[in-house]
């Protein structure tokens, strides 16, 4: 991995920050692309960009990736826009797809030349168990299910170039965002924990560990897969 770069979208905070730290610890130089400045220093470069703006994202990546051996891509950035079906706003729906689906396509296209030149690459996308169905998640579930389809399609297309493509599907992860919606000690929060077979919330580091493996040299025979990091919550559903 010496000298290789990893592009991590949404790598400024929460799960993305843990992924950036893990990949840095594994010897990669990390480029973080995010809308907000990072809360950590586990990176070689920060690219401030709105991932929903296709042209701005392309331009930002053209500058940040030029001349660099980028052999890892982690599509972590995502937005939710929860709503019941009858309340789903089509502009919100389109915005979710722009960040959760279109941005990964743009990022993958940007890193492919370097990966093909290197004869290897690792693309890991952060999905969600919501891809299997979750109330009030029409836009989000559609985007994550689409991400699964792209993961499998890209795995078939890119395997001949030594590029593997996988996804990680987190369950409930104890981040600041999770706590804002599910306060510690709240009965509803406890009900979520009780529903996890291992009886705890996941941590950002749990997700980062899975990403670290799939992004490693040792994962060259694993491709087209969705690895759920959910404490067993998807058993019987996936």
Average pLDDT over residues 213-227: 99
Predicted confidence at residue 2, as pLDDT, reads 67
1 pLDDT above the threshold of 80: no
Predicted confidence at residue 55, as pLDDT, reads 99
149 pLDDT above the threshold of 90: yes
pTM recorded for the entire structure: 0.96
Sequence-separated (6 or more) residues with CB below 8 Å from residue 226? 127, 131, 148, 151, 166, 167, 168, 169, 238
If pLDDT is split at 50, 70 and 90, which confidence band does 177 have?
Answer: confident
Average pLDDT over residues 24-52: 96
156 pLDDT above the threshold of 80: yes
Predicted confidence at residue 178, as pLDDT, reads 87
Predicted confidence at residue 188, as pLDDT, reads 92
Question: Count of residues for the chain?
Answer: 238
Residues known to be catalytic: 140
Average pLDDT over residues 115-144: 96
Q: Which of 152, 211, 217 is nearest to 11 (CA)?
A: 211
Predicted confidence at residue 60, as pLDDT, reads 98
Predicted confidence at residue 79, as pLDDT, reads 94
238 pLDDT above the threshold of 70: no
Predicted confidence at residue 180, as pLDDT, reads 84
More confident of the two residues 177 and 214:
214
Contact 31, 8 (CB under 8 A): yes
Per-residue pLDDT tens for 55-108?
Answer: 999 999 999 999 999 999 999 999 999 999 999 999 999 999 999 999 999 999
176 pLDDT above the threshold of 90: no
Give the whole-angstrom CA distance, residue 103 versus residue 194: 35
Average pLDDT over residues 209-227: 99
């Amino acid at each position: 991995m010496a000298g290789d770069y990893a592009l991590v979208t949404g790598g400024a905070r929460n799960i993305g920050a843990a992924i950036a730290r893990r990949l840095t610890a594994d010897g990669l130089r990390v480029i973080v692309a995010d809308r907000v400045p990072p809360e950590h220093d586990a990176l070689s470069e920060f690219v401030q960009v709105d991932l929903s703006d296709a042209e701005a994202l392309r331009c930002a990546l053209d500058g940040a990736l030029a001349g660099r051996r980028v052999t890892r891509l982690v599509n972590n950035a995502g937005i939710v826009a929860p709503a019941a079906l009858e309340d789903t706003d089509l502009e919100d729906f389109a915005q979710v797809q722009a960040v959760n689906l279109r941005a990964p396509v743009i990022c993958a296209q940007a890193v492919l030349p370097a990966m093909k030149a290197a004869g290897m690459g690792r693309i890991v996308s952060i999905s969600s168990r919501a891809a299997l169905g979750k109330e009030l998640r029409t836009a989000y579930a559609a985007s994550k299910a689409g991400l699964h389809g792209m993961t499998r399609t890209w795995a078939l297309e890119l395997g001949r170039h030594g590029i593997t493509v996988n996804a990680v599907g987190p369950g409930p992860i104890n981040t600041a965002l999770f706590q804002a919606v599910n306060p510690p000690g709240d009965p509803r929060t406890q009900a979520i924990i009780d529903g996890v077979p291992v009886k705890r919330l996941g941590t950002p580091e749990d997700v980062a560990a899975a990403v670290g493996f799939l992004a490693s040299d040792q994962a060259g025979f694993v491709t087209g897969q969705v690895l759920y990091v959910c404490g067993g919550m998807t058993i019987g559903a996936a």
